[in-house]
Structure 1
Amino acid sequence: MAKFPDYLENKTIFDEKDFFDGNRFKFYEFALFLYEEYHGCYIDNRPHVFTGKKYEPLNIDVVRKMTIKYIPSLREQQNKEVYQKLKTLCMNNYQEQCSARYIGLKNGIYDIVEEKLKAFSPQYYITNIIDVDFNEQAQSDLIERFIKDISNDDEEVEQLIYEMIGYGLYRDNFLQVAFFYYSPGGNGKTTLLKLLHHFYNPENTTALSFNDLNDKFKPANLQGKLVNIADDIDPNRIKDTGNFKIIVTGNYITLEFKGQDAFEFKPYVKLIFASNELPMSNDKSEGFYRRMVIIPMLRKFGKGGQKKDPMLLNKLITPHNMSALLNLALKGLKRTLENNEIIEPKITRKTKEEYQFDNNPVLQFIEDATDKDYRQLPVVEGRNTDKAYEIYQIWCANNGYHHMNKMNFSKELSKLGYKSVAYWSKVQEKTKRFYVKETTNKIYDTNGTILKTLQ
């Protein structure tokens, strides 16, 4: 917990006798004193007190620290009673976190709009402080060289990394994207994530995996965090992206800690994942892909690649280097705010397209199906829907995929421009449905003969 500064603790002349009536301790009066002294309030449906730089969640440990400063003779049961009364008093003062333009730093509150450092004050309802000083003169060749190296000398990727770091400082998910670092290993990914963990301050970070986001209790830990940094994302198939989408878009979500009542909050945490391989997902919607920024890391370090420095992380995280990284991140954030979007380099777009193809067996099936050197008859276009689905099932079995049901198969085809149309089948002597596109010029009966030629 943050240390209460002397100016805050000593600003009121305190007399312990004021809170006793003989031997009777005045619980309410002492709780009221603490409430006024430490600017008690409710933020994000939780009680908070101002600890000199930021507002910190109120809990029994915070109260113990307060009472041992003022009345060290209080018993534990009295501490608990003070805590309950102070928590109730905080409910009289509901506050929202101040504008995301204000960023809590080690030596003050930085205003990204005015580009100025302001003094700490209880008027700034901020719950996050990163342990980095603002020094506008700070520069670091080492930091810039490291980012350039892991970007494989791709200037667009460099810019993206700085913009991502700056976005992590901004307490609003206006970009509505998450970041996926992808690499086969040995290319600086782990060093980067450890650097970010240190930069943002561990108390402002979590490390939930993608699948943890759908746990009943774990996502509650995201409340009040700046970034979630998860290394080695589970390569197993992603089955549910519901909470992921809510968190990335910054919409209100209802969660709970184990054994406590559910609560609602608006997350501003930025999700950063890393893996040696990107996990496949059941969600193939544009809404899912749109929220992904995939960052390939192609530079090889160590054996067979660029020389590796085992002490690099220790060199990177010096206070001066962190101030230099902060300047680069703030410049990146400024660009993002001005453009209202984050840069998406050519290589990230290409990697996402490849991921979408790999993640959707139907796309792969269609590519095989349209290979004229491989097929004498179209597999889908102009074919009976039952026959096309039968061929798809065989293709899945031969290629190691689990096939989806026919309804979902048709839905995926509809995204690709296919629709089903009814025609009379001469072979089966009844009406059957066939897949067609705007380019379809022939309809094939169930035995493969041409049933109809379209204009």
Structure 2
Amino acid sequence: MPRECKVCASKLRKEAEKRCKDGQSYRKVVEWLAAQGETVSHEALRQHMTQHVFGTPERHDIEFSVDVRTLREFLEAWFARVQDGHIEVRPIPNDRTDKDAARQAAQLRKSFPVSDIDALAVHVTEGYKAASLLRCGWYYGVCPRKTEVRRVADVSSGEVRARWVGGAAEDVAAYPGAWADIDDHGGDDDADRIEHAQRALEALSETGYPPTFVVLSGGGRGRHVYFRFTEPVDVDTGRRIVRKLAELLRSDPSIADPARVMRLPGTLHTKTSRVVPVSIEQSRPDAEYPGDEFEATLDRLLVEFGVVNEEDRETPGKEAADCGNTVSGRWAPVPLEYVADKLPLICARFAVYATDPNTVSEPVWHHIAGTLKSLNPAPALWHEWSKGYDLGPGRRYNWAEAQRKWQQNKGVPIKCATFERDDPMPECRSCPHWSKNTSPAMVIRRLYAVERGERGVYGAPNEAAVTSVESEVADMGVPAETKTPAVAVHDGHGPDFRRRGFDPKLAAAWAFAYRDRFIKTDPETGKQKFLEFRFVKQLQESFGLHHLYDTIYGFNGQYYQAVEELIMPFILRALDAVAPEWARRDYARDVAATLTDFVAGEHRTDGAAVYGEWDAEPYIVFRNGVLDLSDLPSFRLVDFNPSFKCTWQVNAEWRDDWNPSSQSDAMRAVDEYLLTTLPDDDTRQALLEYLGYSLCRFDTSQQRYALLYGGGRNGKGVMIRVLERLFAGFVETVTLQDLAKNRFATHRLIKAAVNLVGDLSGERLEDTETIKKLTGNDVLTGERKFHDAFSFRPRVKLWYGANELPSTPDPSYGFFRRPLVIPFDQRFEQKYGEEWEERLKTPEALSYWAWLGISHYIMMRCRDGKLYESPAMKAALMDYWKANDIVMMAIEDEIVEFGQDYQVPRELLHLAFEIYAKDLGRKSPGAAKLMERLRNAAPVSITGRRLQINGERVNVWCGVRLGQGGLQLKIRREVYDSETRQIKYVTLPITEAYKQMRGERKGGASA
């Protein structure tokens, strides 16, 4: 998170930028600013120019470069059917007043034969090496030019002037395909227009015309779409088709100009405040279409989307034939206005469907389509009645899906008995039309005939057609491909209950949809029998129920959660819907027990196996969708789907439209907090990387935990409370001491995404094994009182806030390599209150926190895959380690030093540590522990050998020796004075004392 830019705040900003653009070096401009009284560093000026003028990303390792592979892939495919001609490339300045960029851009405008795309790629790549060209966008001529583009002298006006030839409309021979520019101009209608274009593109794809390319042009949500023709078409035909495509997509119609230039894929969009690659979002290089067929499809869709009237079409009536409608293709259509007015009046169920589409199940939706399509082939009323469908994110009306269902439907009128079978309503059997064994569509046709003063059924080609329709008993409303069950997910015919989520409110609809599968009726007596196991099996299959963590999980429409407490209410409502006399608590309790046994036996994931199956894929569930991180550094937000086995959700919506140049209140609040509490940029980066790592529950590779360390009133408690809100519902609060002493504590962490402790006790940690296992992806044993123990592998991330770091008897590297000690050393007495803290926890602020975390996580993964640790954090960790390990303190105080050729007598080394520990009032480690800790800390190998020194065999350690601090150690010894015959105490340097000790040893025994 950058600090305030000094150049941006300077009154001399414009002049400084002009001098840089004119070619002056940064140092010269800095000197000029200093002469004017403005002190700005060379680096600050460089960052300002690259980030705020030229738009370079903050990461300085990203350079301006051309994606040659993308550029070549696109041009080779787009001009694949062009036999002859030239491709024009043209850099255009982002700012028309930028004369230097315009001058150099003119010099690089050029054309290349369609057969020499390699030379074109080299030309563009070389062009980016010019500084002023960084302020340009690179464009290409969509249509091939007849001749080479060149600059010539023009003397027609009596003066010699330069003009370009070869790049005008008259220089274009053919259109290789159709294209469109779907751009967002910042207008109020942008969202509606882009949504409309998306629906139209989906309709084209559904009818067999997906785009050859969809290019992300870099301008916000802008897209360029391309459809290549099997053979290029002439200019007039091409212009007409492109204009029709623009009409259908509600995009810029001027794009149809033959001389049109578009941004070149593989180059960079530098017009905004950041550099964005012009990349390919969808690529189908082999997709191409005959121009006349593509135009005919555009004509049909223009009518369906209401852009032009039916009578304006060149081939009226073709739509009905194209869709394969087996009824309305032969029968005259009933006006939609009449159908919309009369159908809800003569049929109670259509009155309900039209006003509340949320009550409509999947098969009934198909029946509605069949009924409406049998009356009129136009889908307008179908879409109008479907628009109100809204059961939350991922379960809303989708134009493309509705249109696909309409096109697949055969348009056969659905009988009243079929509607009643799939969606029982008490009004049906009391309806006067019920006994006639007819359909709502045929009733409407008879009424319309009466209104027109005709007899019989309106629109029937002959009487045989009426007899055929009235005798039809098969359900032709559902497309054939939806009648084959899909294993373990959804049978395609009934509603997709798994996507809607396990909810007792759906019990009645579910029971009606599947009652034939678990209720057997005796054909003679009419008595119904409940098939309990089939009921249980269908319930599991419909909702994907699964047994894990010693309970039953089900999809709730967004993610999987424990649903055991919902099973009884669901069963009671389901039984009450199909047979109220069965809806007894004792009976439902038996069914629930059978369901639990079945799911636990057939669909169970035990213990540590959960780790590899659940929350293991790179998906993060947010409030508005699922963030897919499977293709880093790219990411995308997709719809909720039960195929994502996620058992938690971030308490925020995912947004990636944050603009640093126009900060919202939430952005300013979060940025201010981070800059104030963590003024060190590196430490701030480390905290945000660990935040992103915590959000990525699927990633447990780092084996670290966060320790927010500092005195009171420094912001670390605020950070913990922000995390509580961000991870709400998936938080535990187990202390390090509980993990060490309480064997039941680990069980609480099974389902948690994070473990947050805001005020960690300074009590001594006697046992660190559980903590090391918890962060090391090891198998742990979970225990609950009065239950059997079980094994599991956790996916929890640990955050602790501490005023005082707890001491430990474990000074091992295995323990001290795990904490990320993040120092909070700023103190605020009264600066921030509760109101200010709440600004950090608003829905918008939480979304920004999540974006910051995920952005830093992606950068970490792209960098080296390791969580960053700032110098200040390393120093704090070392202080913590030294406070608990005399060996680390001795290394820091240069008691010993390491080197490949160093060696020290073993006895001397042990003596040095004994003296050092005694001086500090601490205990020296034993010989074995001392060597183990030195080996863990040493950058070189430490080995033991027995060498000949001064004629004696001495045990030594190689790779280590006494350092300057060690050589200065002194020892007090008792010395016998033979003259006075008294014992004296003398202080000797450690090396001298060591020599005396060896000399006194009987027989010169070795150490």
- Please classify the TM superposition score into its range, dividing by the shorter chain length: 0.7 to 0.9
Give distance in 2, aligned partners of 1:357 and 1:125. 44
Q: Secondary structure at the match of 2:621?
A: strand
Measured against aligned partners, the alpha-carbon deviations of 1:271-299 in whole angstroms (never above 9, x if no partner) come to 11110121222222222222221100111
Q: 1:88: how far off? A: 2.6
Assess if the C-alpha contact under 8 Å between 1:43 and 1:97 holds in 2. Answer: no
Measured against aligned partners, the alpha-carbon deviations of 1:64-87 in whole angstroms (never above 9, x if no partner) come to 342354347855555543343222
Give distance in 1, aligned partners of 2:884 and 2:530. 66
- Residue number in structure 2 paired with 1:205: 731
Deviates more, 1:381-390 or 1:116-125: 381-390
Relative contact order (alpha carbons < 8 A, sep ≥ 6): 1 or 2 greater? 1
Of 797, 804, 828, the residue aligned with 1:301 is 828
Q: 1:270: how far off? A: 0.7
- Residue number in structure 1 paired with 2:78: none
Closer/same/farther in 2, CA of residues 165 and 7 from structure 1, 3 Å limit:
farther
Measured against aligned partners, the alpha-carbon deviations of 1:39-77 in whole angstroms (never above 9, x if no partner) come to 112346753211211111343x23234235434785555
TM-score, normalised via structure 1 length: 0.80
Bigger share in helix = 2
Of 617, 624, 628, the residue aligned with 1:111 is 628
Closer/same/farther in 2, CA of residues 158 and 450 from structure 1, 3 Å limit:
farther
1:70 correspondence with 2:580: no
Give distance in 2, aligned partners of 1:404 and 1:20. 79
Assess if the C-alpha contact under 8 Å between 1:246 and 1:253 holds in 2. Answer: yes
Assess if the C-alpha contact under 8 Å between 1:162 and 1:332 holds in 2. Answer: yes
1:12 correspondence with 2:529: no
- Residue number in structure 1 paired with 2:670: 143
Measured against aligned partners, the alpha-carbon deviations of 1:291-327 in whole angstroms (never above 9, x if no partner) come to 2211001111115xxx222322222211111112221
- Residue number in structure 1 paired with 2:885: 360
Q: 1:236: how far off? A: 2.0
Give distance in 1, aligned partners of 2:532 and 2:857. 47
- Residue number in structure 2 paired with 1:100: 617
Of 326, 336, 352, the residue aligned with 2:850 is 326
Whichever residue aligns with residue 88 of structure 1, its letter is D
Give distance in 1, aligned partners of 2:670 and 2:731. 21
Measured against aligned partners, the alpha-carbon deviations of 1:222-272 in whole angstroms (never above 9, x if no partner) come to 113211111222212222222222221223323222222222222111111
Q: Secondary structure at the match of 2:763?
A: coil
1:126 correspondence with 2:646: yes
- Residue number in structure 1 paired with 2:814: 287
Whichever residue aligns with residue 731 of structure 2, its letter is T
Identity of aligned residues (%): 21
Q: 1:103: how far off? A: 0.3
Q: 1:360: how far off? A: 0.8
Assess if the C-alpha contact under 8 Å between 1:217 and 1:257 holds in 2. Answer: yes
Assess if the C-alpha contact under 8 Å between 1:8 and 1:52 holds in 2. Answer: no
Measured against aligned partners, the alpha-carbon deviations of 1:9-57 in whole angstroms (never above 9, x if no partner) come to 5653538896699899765344334312321123467532112111113
Assess if the C-alpha contact under 8 Å between 1:382 and 1:435 holds in 2. Answer: yes
Closer/same/farther in 2, CA of residues 284 and 172 from structure 1, 3 Å limit:
same
Of 859, 865, 875, the residue aligned with 1:350 is 875
- Residue number in structure 1 paired with 2:561: 56
Assess if the C-alpha contact under 8 Å between 1:384 and 1:445 holds in 2. Answer: no
- Residue number in structure 1 paired with 2:380: none
Q: 1:186: how far off? A: 0.9
Give distance in 1, aligned partners of 2:937 and 2:655. 52
Q: 1:437: how far off? A: 6.5
Give distance in 1, aligned partners of 2:680 and 2:567. 51
Give distance in 2, aligned partners of 1:333 and 1:40. 33
- Residue number in structure 2 paired with 1:166: 692
Whichever residue aligns with residue 855 of structure 2, its letter is K
Q: Structure 2: 5+ residue runs without aligned partners?
A: 1-499, 522-526, 577-581, 606-612, 659-663, 897-903, 968-990
- Residue number in structure 2 paired with 1:235: 762
1:248 correspondence with 2:248: no
Of 863, 866, 891, the residue aligned with 1:341 is 866
Q: 1:143: how far off? A: 1.2
Q: 1:419: how far off? A: 7.2
Deviates more, 1:5-14 or 1:110-119: 5-14
Q: Secondary structure at the match of 1:63?
A: helix
Whichever residue aligns with residue 877 of structure 2, its letter is K
Assess if the C-alpha contact under 8 Å between 1:181 and 1:274 holds in 2. Answer: yes
Q: Secondary structure at the match of 1:311?
A: helix
Whichever residue aligns with residue 118 of structure 1, its letter is V
Give distance in 2, aligned partners of 1:135 and 1:294. 30
Of 732, 735, 749, the residue aligned with 1:222 is 749
Deviates more, 1:162-171 or 1:98-107: 98-107
Closer/same/farther in 2, CA of residues 10 and 298 from structure 1, 3 Å limit:
farther
Closer/same/farther in 2, CA of residues 82 and 144 from structure 1, 3 Å limit:
farther
Whichever residue aligns with residue 226 of structure 1, its letter is A
Whichever residue aligns with residue 354 of structure 1, its letter is D
Q: 1:177: how far off? A: 1.1
Closer/same/farther in 2, CA of residues 369 and 383 from structure 1, 3 Å limit:
farther
Q: Secondary structure at the match of 1:229?
A: strand
Give distance in 2, aligned partners of 1:422 and 1:314. 67
TM-score, normalised via structure 2 length: 0.39
1:81 correspondence with 2:81: no
Q: Secondary structure at the match of 2:653?
A: coil
Give distance in 2, aligned partners of 1:450 and 1:102. 72
- Residue number in structure 2 paired with 1:427: none
Closer/same/farther in 2, CA of residues 133 and 436 from structure 1, 3 Å limit:
closer
Closer/same/farther in 2, CA of residues 143 and 87 from structure 1, 3 Å limit:
same
Assess if the C-alpha contact under 8 Å between 1:413 and 1:419 holds in 2. Answer: no
Closer/same/farther in 2, CA of residues 386 and 302 from structure 1, 3 Å limit:
closer
Give distance in 1, aligned partners of 2:905 and 2:858. 49
Closer/same/farther in 2, CA of residues 319 and 83 from structure 1, 3 Å limit:
same
Whichever residue aligns with residue 197 of structure 1, its letter is E
Assess if the C-alpha contact under 8 Å between 1:387 and 1:446 holds in 2. Answer: no
Give distance in 2, aligned partners of 1:7 and 1:119. 22
Assess if the C-alpha contact under 8 Å between 1:143 and 1:321 holds in 2. Answer: yes
Closer/same/farther in 2, CA of residues 312 and 41 from structure 1, 3 Å limit:
same
- Residue number in structure 2 paired with 1:154: 680
Give distance in 2, aligned partners of 1:105 and 1:416. 43
Closer/same/farther in 2, CA of residues 160 and 392 from structure 1, 3 Å limit:
closer
Closer/same/farther in 2, CA of residues 191 and 415 from structure 1, 3 Å limit:
closer
Deviates more, 1:165-174 or 1:413-422: 413-422
Assess if the C-alpha contact under 8 Å between 1:101 and 1:111 holds in 2. Answer: yes
Give distance in 2, aligned partners of 1:345 and 1:10. 58
Assess if the C-alpha contact under 8 Å between 1:382 and 1:436 holds in 2. Answer: no
Give distance in 2, aligned partners of 1:402 and 1:25. 76
Give distance in 2, aligned partners of 1:283 and 1:74. 61
- Residue number in structure 1 paired with 2:121: none
Structure of higher CA gyration radius: 2
- Residue number in structure 1 paired with 2:929: 408
Assess if the C-alpha contact under 8 Å between 1:187 and 1:300 holds in 2. Answer: yes
Closer/same/farther in 2, CA of residues 117 and 363 from structure 1, 3 Å limit:
closer
Whichever residue aligns with residue 361 of structure 1, its letter is I
Deviates more, 1:123-132 or 1:240-249: 240-249
Aligned residues between the structures? 431
Assess if the C-alpha contact under 8 Å between 2:511 and 2:574 holds in 1. Answer: no
Closer/same/farther in 2, CA of residues 446 and 74 from structure 1, 3 Å limit:
farther
